[in-house]
C-alpha cells in the first residue's frame, strides 16, 4: 500500500502528501484537502479497542493518515506531547443518585477548557516537527467563532518560527473567549472583525487565494479547513466509542453521538472515526438556528445563509466549510443513513440548561445544551434509543458564565480558566474587507 494522498474537494489541484496538505491549509484551487480514502483500523485494534489507552487509540487512529511523513516513534511523541489530558465519559444520573439519564463525553479538560484543544495542540506540535530547520516563519491565519481561536492561540503560543493571526467577530464572542484569543501576545495577533464568523472565514479563504500575499508569506490555517486540525478530533470519537463499549458492552455498537456543530469539522471527524471502524451507530448533527446542514439533510439541497448570532456562539456558522468534505465523501442518501439533523433555539437552549440542572445537578454550557436538546428531539421521535446517546460536552460552562449563571447560579471556575480571567485582551479592529486584512498582515 502506498502513502496516503490528499485531494482537493474542488478537484482542480494536484494531490498532496499529508505534510504538504497540512502546511498549505487550503488547496491551491480553494478546496479543502480530503484523504483519498478513509483507512480501516487494523483488525487487532477493533478487537482490543475497549482495553486500549487514549494514547494508543490516538496513535492507531492517526497513523494510517500520515505514516509517510512521520516515523512511529515521532507520531507517538507528538501524541504524548499533545494529549496530556483526558476525555472521560460521564454517566449523568438524576440527583442525587437516581436512575441514569444520559452520558456526556467531556472534551473540556485541556488548557482552554474546550474540545478544540485536541486538534490545536497536536497541530502545533506537528507543524513544529514538519518545519524543523525552516528559515522562513510560518504565518497561520485562523477564523474563529469562539473556542477555536483560544485553543489555537494557546497551542501555538511561544512556538518558534510561527506567527498566528486570529480573526474573530467583534462583539460575538464571550468576554473570556476574547481574553483567550487576544490576551497572550507574543507571536499571537488578534483581529476583531466588524462582521460575522462567516466574514472572518471568507477573509481567511480570500487571503489564501491572494497570490501577492502568498509570495510574501508562508501561509497556513488552523481552522478545521486544515486536515491536520481535523484528523486529531477523530481520536476522541474513537476513544468515546471505546469507553461506551466498556460501560455498556451489551449495547455495542449502538452508540449515538450528539455533536454540537458549527463549521462541521467535529462531525466530519466523527464520520471518519466511524468509517475506520469505531463502534458508532450514527450521529446527531446538533445546531442552533444556523441550521444549514439539518436543512440540507431534510431537503437534499444545500443553501448557504447568513449566520445569526446566538448564545451558542461557537456554532454561529451559516455556510460551514466542511460541507465540502461531507459532499466529497458521501452522497445525500449515505449521509441520511449516518446522520440525523436537529436544532434548538436560544430559548430551548436556556430551558435545557435549567431543566438538566434541576433534574441532575449537571451544568451544561450552551453548546452542549444544544446537543442535549437535539438528542431529546430524536428520542421523542423514536429515531434513537435514549440509553445509547452520548452528548459531546465541547466546552466548560464557566466559559459562558454570563449566559449560564443567571439560569443555574454560580459556576465553579476550573484552574485553566482562572488564569485566563486575569488576561487583558489586545486586538486590532478591522472592517470585513480584504484590503483591511492585507493592511493588518503586511502593514
Question: Average pLDDT, stretch 414-435?
Answer: 92
Share of the chain above pLDDT 90, in %: 75
Q: What pLDDT, on the 0 to 100 scale, is given for residue 145?
A: 81
Other beta carbons less than 10 A from residue 88's beta carbon: 15
Between 137 and 357, the higher pLDDT residue: 357
φ, ψ for residue 208, nearest 5 deg: -70, -25
Q: What is the mean pLDDT of residues 260-273?
A: 96
Assigned domain for 437 exists: no
Lookup: cell for 226: 486544515
List the domain range (segments joined by +) for residue 275. 87-114+230-414
225 located within any domain? no
Q: Please state the rounded mean pLDDT for residues 356-373.
A: 97
Average pLDDT of the chain?
A: 92
Flag whether pLDDT at 137 surpasses 90: no
Euclidean distance between CA atoms 394 and 260, whole angstroms: 7
At residue 251, the pLDDT reads: 60
Those residues whose C-beta lies under 8 Å from the C-beta of residue 171, and which sit 6 or more positions away, are: none
Identify the band that residue 252 occupies on the pLDDT scale cut at 50, 70 and 90: low
Q: Does the pLDDT value for residue 102 go beyond 70?
A: yes
The more confidently predicted of residues 443 and 318 is: 318
For the segment 366-383, the average pLDDT, to the nearest whole number, is 96
Q: What is the pLDDT of residue 169?
A: 94
Say if residue 394 is exposed, middle or buried (CB neighbours under 10 Å; 0-12, 13-18, 19+): buried
Q: What is d(CA 360, CA 65) in angstroms, rounded to the nearest whole number?
A: 40
Nearest in space to 249 (alpha carbons), one of 40, 43, 41, 51: 51
> Residue 135: what pLDDT?
81
Mean pLDDT of 127-141: 87
C-alpha cell at 328: 466529497
Secondary structure (3-state) at 56:
helix
In a domain, 350, yes or no: yes
Per-residue pLDDT, 228? 93
Question: Of the ranges 42-46, 61-65, 438-442, which one carries the lowest mean pLDDT score?
Answer: 42-46
**Number of structural domains in the chain:** 1
**Per-residue pLDDT at 248:** 77
Tell whether 328 is covered by a domain: yes
What is the value of pTM for the model shown? 0.91
| Residue 119 CB coordination number (10 Å) | 30
Q: Give the contacts of 438 (CB within 8 A, at least 6 positions apart).
A: 207, 210, 213
DSSP 241-295: HHHHHHH-GGGTT-EEEEEE-SSSHHHHHHHHHHHHT--EEEEEEEESS--HHHH
CATH number where 256 lies: 3.40.50.1100
Please say whether the dihedral angle defined by the alpha carbons of residues 173, 177, 183 and 189, taken in this order, is positive or negative.
negative
Whether the predicted pLDDT of 249 surpasses 80: no
Q: Percent of the chain, pLDDT > 70?
A: 98
pLDDT of residue 323: 97
Instruction: Give the separation between CA 349 and CA 124, rounded to whole angstroms.
Output: 33
422 or 107: which leads in pLDDT = 107
Q: Does 316 map to a domain?
A: yes
Q: 376 in a domain, yes or no?
A: yes
Is 249 part of any domain?
Answer: yes
Q: Is the pLDDT of residue 443 over 80?
A: no
pLDDT score, position 253: 62
Give kind and range of the element (H or E) at residue 400. Answer: none
Residue 170 has pLDDT above 70, yes or no: yes
Position 285 in a domain? yes
| Per-residue pLDDT reduced to its tens digit, 148-162 | 889 999 989 988 888
Give the tens place of pLDDT for each residue, 284-317. Answer: 999 999 999 999 999 999 999 999 999 998 899 9
CA of residue 92 relative to chain centroid, distance:
23
Average pLDDT of the segment spanning 368-395: 96
- Residue 341 CB-half CA count within 13 A: 20
More confidently predicted of 374 and 162? 374
188 vs 73, 129, 184, 361, 420, CA distance in Å?
A: 30, 19, 7, 38, 15
CA dist 331 → 272, 298, 322 (Å): 15, 13, 14
- The dihedral region occupied by 236, where left means phi > 0, alpha psi between -120 and 50, and beta the remainder, is alpha
Amino acid at each position: 500500500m502506498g502513502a496516503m494522498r490528499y485531494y482537493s474537494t474542488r478537484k482542480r489541484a494536484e494531490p498532496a502528501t499529508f505534510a504538504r496538505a497540512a502546511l498549505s491549509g487550503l488547496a491551491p484551487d480553494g478546496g479543502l484537502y480530503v484523504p483519498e480514502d478513509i483507512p480501516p483500523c487494523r483488525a487487532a485494534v477493533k478487537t482490543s479497542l475497549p482495553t486500549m489507552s487514549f494514547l494508543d487509540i490516538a496513535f492507531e487512529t492517526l497513523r494510517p493518515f500520515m505514516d509517510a511523513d512521520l516515523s512511529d516513534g515521532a507520531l507517538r511523541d507528538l501524541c504524548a506531547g499533545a494529549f496530556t489530558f483526558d476525555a472521560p465519559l460521564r454517566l449523568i444520573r438524576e440527583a442525587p443518585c437516581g436512575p441514569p439519564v444520559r452520558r456526556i463525553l467531556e472534551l473540556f479538560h485541556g488548557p482552554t477548557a474546550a474540545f478544540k484543544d485536541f486538534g490545536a495542540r497536536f497541530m502545533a506540535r506537528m507543524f513544529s516537527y514538519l518545519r524543523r530547520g525552516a528559515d522562513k516563519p510560518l504565518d497561520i491565519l485562523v477564523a474563529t467563532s469562539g473556542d477555536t481561536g483560544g485553543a489555537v492561540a494557546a497551542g501555538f503560543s511561544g512556538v518558534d518560527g510561527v506567527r498566528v493571526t486570529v480573526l474573530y467577530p467583534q462583539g460575538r464572542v464571550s468576554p473570556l473567549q476574547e481574553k483567550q484569543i487576544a490576551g497572550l501576545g507574543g507571536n499571537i495577533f488578534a483581529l476583531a472583525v466588524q462582521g460575522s464568523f462567516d466574514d472572518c472565514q471568507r477573509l481567511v479563504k480570500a487571503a489564501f487565494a491572494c497570490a501577492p500575499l502568498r509570495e510574501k508569506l508562508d501561509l497556513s490555517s488552523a481552522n478545521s479547513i486544515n486536515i491536520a486540525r481535523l484528523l486529531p478530533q477523530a481520536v476522541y470519537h474513537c476513544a468515546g466509542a471505546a469507553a461506551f463499549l466498556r460501560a455498556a458492552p451489551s449495547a455495542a455498537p449502538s452508540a449515538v453521538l450528539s455533536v454540537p456543530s458549527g463549521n462541521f469539522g467535529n462531525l466530519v471527524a466523527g464520520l471518519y472515526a466511524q468509517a475506520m471502524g469505531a463502534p458508532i451507530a450514527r450521529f446527531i448533527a446538533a445546531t442552533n438556528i444556523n441550521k444549514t446542514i439539518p436543512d440540507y439533510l431534510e431537503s437534499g439541497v444545500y443553501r448557504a445563509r447568513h449566520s445569526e448570532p446566538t448564545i451558542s456562539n461557537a456554532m454561529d456558522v451559516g455556510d460551514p466549510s466542511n460541507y465540502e468534505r461531507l459532499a466529497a465523501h458521501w452522497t445525500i442518501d449515505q449521509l441520511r443513513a449516518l446522520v440525523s439533523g436537529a436544532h434548538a433555539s436560544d430559548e430551548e437552549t436556556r430551558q435545557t440548561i435549567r431543566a438538566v440542572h434541576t433534574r441532575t445537578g449537571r451544568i451544561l454550557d450552551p453548546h452542549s445544551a444544544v446537543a442535549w436538546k437535539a438528542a431529546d428531539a430524536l428520542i421523542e421521535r423514536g429515531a434513537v434509543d435514549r440509553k445509547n446517546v452520548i452528548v459531546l460536552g465541547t466546552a466548560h460552562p464557566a466559559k459562558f458564565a454570563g449566559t449560564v449563571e443567571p439560569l443555574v447560579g454560580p459556576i465553579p471556575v476550573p484552574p485553566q480558566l482562572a488564569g485566563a480571567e486575569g488576561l487583558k485582551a489586545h486586538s486590532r479592529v478591522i472592517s470585513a474587507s480584504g484590503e483591511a486584512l492585507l493592511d493588518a498582515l503586511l502593514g
